[in-house]
Amino acid sequence: MQELTKAEEQIMQVVWDLGHCFVKEIIPHLPSPEPAYNTVSTLVRILEKKEFVAYEAFGKTHRYYPLITKKEYAKFKTDHLLGSYFGGSVEKMMSFFIKEKDIDINELDELLKNLKK
């Protein structure tokens, strides 16, 4: 699996949310200013080449759908983050987030419950 650019990831977020969609349906969900249709179409074709999306043909138009789930990509990104910044140590990563983010006691309690499962 390849890492996505910021623009590709924004498009994938929309595709994951919509499930099946045409390029024209993706555009309104992207941050302002809205990119041109051709720009989004090019990025979707790149995502197709990277095997993140596939399509169903309807005449000259295509309806795209995800091949990679949001959870699969999140795991890939998390594994990359873990390996690149924390030497593969979950303990170091969790310690970093606890120290650097304002995690309240309820969130910490939920984390502990999940770890015990």
The whole-model pTM stands at 0.81
Q: Of 19-33, 45-59, 62-76, 82-96, give the lowest mean pLDDT range.
A: 82-96
10, 55: one domain: yes
Kindly report the CATH number assigned to the domain that includes residue 25.
1.10.10.10
Between 94 and 26, the higher pLDDT residue: 26
Residue 93 has pLDDT above 90, yes or no: no
CA distances 45 to 41, 51, 53, 54, Å, are 6, 10, 8, 9
Q: In whole angstroms, give the CA distance from residue 67 to residue 51.
A: 7
In a domain, 41, yes or no: yes
Which DSSP category does 61 fall into?
Answer: E
In a domain, 23, yes or no: yes
Q: Supply the range of the domain harboring residue 94.
A: 70-116
In a domain, 1, yes or no: no
**pLDDT the model gives residue 102:** 77
Query: Where is the domain boundary, 40, 66, 92?
Result: 66
